[in-house]
Amino acid sequence: MKTFGSTRALDGIDLQIPQGTVLGLLGPNGAGKTTAVRILSTLLRPDAGRAQVAGVDVLTDPHGVRGKIGLAGQYAAVDANLTGFENLYMIGRLYGMSRRQARSRARVLITRCRLDEAAERTAKTYSGGMRRRLDLAGALVANPEVVMLDEPTTGLDPRGRLDTWEVIAELVADGADVLLTTQYLEEADHLADTIAVIDRGRVIARGTSNELKAQCHTVEVAQSAGLIWLFPLTFVSSAFVPTGNMPAVLKVAAEWNPVTAAADASRELFANTVPATFPPPGGWPGEHSVLYAVLSSVAIIAVFAPLTVVRYRRVARR
């Protein structure tokens, strides 16, 4: 748990990453993804709760945790005045590697992250995608057991995103545990073995990509079924009664219904022929006013309800 002032950034989340898998932490901006990563990487102390990374307690042994993780944040933390090779060599030396080990590891990662042609260029000449891949390479220098990637493709063009995805996929193939935060559905779908959806500091759904899709499909079907009953009610009502004159509950439903305007337009279209009161004293038309009203409503529903359901289904897939 973590609170900043009156804002609760994390509210009791429970995360587990099986060995050799990718856990995708999916959520919008401000959901608490980065806060979770900062706590797990010992950069931020939680207000309550406990966490372990690779069997090491984050609170009691933060130094031990740092020796087991690699972290790539939202912004590439590279020295712009050093070449790509020099950046990785420097990180290796800071980790205590010998000169020979640091050079060897830097060359391996330069190749893995597809930076061979730019290895001797200064990082300030790199594109955004190249800088991100160099930052990711830096997180891998010490061959960590757990790799934390905080929105590694945010702001990248499609080519840069695909290149980064390939590097992450190769990393997982080597057996690393990966915590990946992202706000992109397709990224979580493509890379993560398990996805935890986080919003306002809470995990609101979790499962594999297929399991979450099945849950969304169930909700979508339920919404569509609800719309089938909602539309006739609001169409029949708003076709003959102004929305402002409806009972409170029905008025709310009618105003929420995005196609009530179509029914209102139909009612206004026949305003010159529709009596002020319904049903009119003498019947409208003739002696079959109720039947005419029902048939008119059915016609409106038959035209607009299917179109609206299709629209809602498209929105649900986004």
Residue 102 has pLDDT above 50, yes or no: yes
- Rounded mean pLDDT, 195-220: 82
Q: What percent of the chain has pLDDT over 70?
A: 69
Cα distances (angstroms) measured from residue 282 to each of 115, 131, 241, 249: 85, 79, 19, 31
What the block records as the tokens of 199 is 């919003």
Contact 153, 181 (CB under 8 A): no
What is the DSSP code string of 70-89? EEE-SS----TTSBHHHHHH
Quick one: pLDDT at residue 101?
97
Residue 274 has pLDDT above 50, yes or no: no
Residue 308 has pLDDT above 70, yes or no: no
Instruction: Give the separation between CA 99 and CA 93, rounded to whole angstroms.
Output: 7
Quick one: pLDDT at residue 163?
85
What is the CATH architecture of 2-208?
Answer: 3-Layer(aba) Sandwich (3.40)
Residue 19 has pLDDT above 60, yes or no: yes
Q: SS3 for 205? A: strand
Tally Cβ neighbours within 10 Å of residue 38: 19
Residue matched to tokens 């002696």: 287
Q: SS3 for 275? A: coil
Contact 278, 185 (CB under 8 A): no
pTM beyond 0.75: the answer is: no
Burial class (CB in 10 A: 0-12, 13-18, 19+), 159: exposed
Instruction: Give the separation between CA 244 and CA 39, rounded to whole angstroms.
Output: 52
Q: What are 71-96's pLDDT values in tens digits?
A: 998 888 899 999 999 999 999 999 99
Q: Where are the domains of the chain?
A: 2-208, 215-317
